[in-house]
Amino acid sequence: MSDRRLIEKYNEIKENEEEFQWEFRQECPETLKDDEPEILRSRFRLARLLIVASFAQDGADVAHDQIPEGLDGEFADEAIKAVIDFEQYKQFDKLSEEQINKRIRRMDGEVYDLVKNYTNTQLANLDELLDVPDIQGDVMDQLSDRYEDRLEKIRQGFYTYVEYHGMDHVVTEIEAAVETVAEAQRTELEVESDLTDQLEDLQATVETGFQRQEQHRRQQFLDIETELASSDPDVDALERKIDALQTGPSAEQREAIDQLQSTIAETEELRADLEDKIESLADAKRDASAADTEELTDEVTTIVEGQMSALEEQRSEVAAEIERLRQERERLEASSEDLESRQSDLAERVEEIRSSVQTDTGGLDGDSVVTPTIARLLEMDYIGRFEASVHSTPSVRLADETRSIPEGYWEGRSERRNERPRLQNFLDDDERAERYPVNTSARFTIDSSGFLGVGGSPEMVIEAAVCSHLEAHATNGFDAAPATLETLLEYVNRSVYEAEKTDVEVLLGMASPTGWSDSVRAQITQDGISRTKYSRRLSIVLVDLQTGELIYDESDPVAAENARLFELPIDQEQQVACREEIMDRFGRTEFGSEGVVLESLVNEETFEPHVVKRTFNELAVDEGYEQKYLDGDLVLFQT
């Protein structure tokens, strides 16, 4: 019968049931006696249940998505499954009990398998099923009556199975495996509980002992940079502030790092416990292979493999957590090193101003300085270029192969993310986030579907992320420092955790509008180290958004062969025109001492801010020019 006809029949039966219940019984109350009305109504219900079950069968589960709208939700899953279970045994109707017994003794075919699995169905506990509150008991009574002969044959066959093969022998053989699984389940719960407690304690310590102090220190640096960026700063006051900066770890911060190390050690112990239990389960599985019958081996294997799978998944999660903790420890340690370097740079700049007497009236070195507008434009340009590059690439290098990418492959396999909520935390309520960079990232996923379909498991994530210092932009109105090791590790930690937990390769491109510090460059370009330093599944490409330079480990084939995807879009024609305009302005007397202001080129000549900034950078490489950030303006001077 077609689906449409079944739905029509269902609705017809339901209408007849309602007519019987609300019209016939009221108009003819004396026609039916005792329990006859309920028996008749239960027959209507059973008929509807049989139709619903015909749609719902899907292996061991009830497939609700296959049940038509209007039919789903009428019956409990247990009732639907009981009907499905009964239908599995329909071949028993044409067999005699003797035929069934012979097949069981010979372990012959589907009849033997069905009887052996009888205890796993709801039919073995049908009496208990009748007492389930969500199930209409009269319906199950009707179902049992309908299949009474079949059910009796099933039960008789099961008794023959137990008598002939010996249930006591089966139970004895699998008892050890069950005990091993029970111990493994206890370990699983203990590991989950212990890990949760450890991470909660650590989070509280790191937040109070490290992150808050770190935020205060960063704000002190931003305040000093703001003063330096003004005309005629008070160099004596600046020197005192710089000398007073505490860059090394405080006692509270050292305590946080120590606890982080302790948590790593304790988490390693949890992983060792999981390893022990997994090995015990493997032993139980090997013991089962020596059992007397193949059926016994299958029983034990089924019991053990389910728990092994759960523990192996938990082991992967714990391993990923260990890697994340290690990277977090390194990030915290790197934070102090970065602050020391910034303190040295600021002190050097103050000394330059002091020693220059009248020729240097203040301002920050403008090479790394970007304003929110410039950072925002660099971000938008870059992410758009990266997405276009990925969509047009004919192939991508994975760890073990080069994968061809057909046209249209990325449909449904890409997404964008950003840190707008984080930026908003630094802004006043009336400030608009649209004026600032939001650290947009674009992600593309390669899966194992063979490019012929969807739903395969992820194999590789390709991501490009822009890394602006959002707090600096929101607080100072500019960012003056190249991205540091702390920034690198913040992004790397996320990717390592994802790679280890999900067992996927990650190709991470990190683009900084202010460039990258020397310490970061050294981390990435050390031959043969960077690929394994963080994770064997992680490859890194750094992008300097001002110069277009790509930084990666050339010995890493995944990074080296895919670096083209992260190349920077640069409008050479615009930059040539901008350079000519700057040279023309320096040729005029009034610009000789005042310098060329970036904002004026944007307003008067309609150059894009990031195009002017890149041109300033190119000219500042020459000895005859330098750029400064002074009183809110980025200015190029002749030296």
pLDDT, tens only, 561-595:
999 999 987 778 888 999 999 988 888 766 556 78
* Average pLDDT over every residue of 204-223: 66
Mean per-residue pLDDT over the chain, rounded: 76
The predicted pLDDT at position 630 comes to 83
Residue 638 pLDDT > 60, yes or no?
yes
Cα atoms in the Cβ-side hemisphere of radius 13 Å centred on 196: 7
Give which of 383, 609, 375 is closest to 474, Cα–Cα: 375
The predicted pLDDT at position 590 comes to 63
Q: Give the pLDDT band of residue 487 (cuts 50, 70, 90).
A: confident
- Please write the tens of the pLDDT for every residue from 411-427: 889 999 999 988 988 88
pTM over 0.85: no
CA dihedral 42, 45, 49, 50 (to 10 degrees): 70
The predicted pLDDT at position 513 comes to 92
Alpha-carbon gap, residue 426 to 473, rounded angstroms: 9
Q: Give the pLDDT band of residue 488 (cuts 50, 70, 90).
A: confident
Choice among 25-29, 210-214, 614-618, 619-623 with the minimum mean pLDDT? 210-214
- Please write the tens of the pLDDT for every residue from 62-79: 777 778 777 777 777 777
Q: Three-state DSSP class for 111?
A: helix
Give which of 462, 527, 472 is closest to 495, Cα–Cα: 462
The predicted pLDDT at position 199 comes to 66
- Please write the tens of the pLDDT for every residue from 184-205: 667 767 777 776 776 666 666 6
- Is the domain spanning 572-638 CATH 1.10.10? The answer is yes
Q: How crowded is residue 334: how many other Cβ atoms within 10 Å of its Cβ?
A: 20
The predicted pLDDT at position 131 comes to 61
Give which of 539, 258, 523 is closest to 397, Cα–Cα: 539
End-to-end CA distance of the chain: 91
The predicted pLDDT at position 390 comes to 95
- Please write the tens of the pLDDT for every residue from 440-481: 999 999 987 644 444 568 899 999 999 999 988 988 888 888
Task: Find out whether 547 and 515 touch, Cβ atoms under 8 Å.
Answer: yes
The predicted pLDDT at position 528 comes to 47
Alpha-carbon gap, residue 352 to 199, rounded angstroms: 47
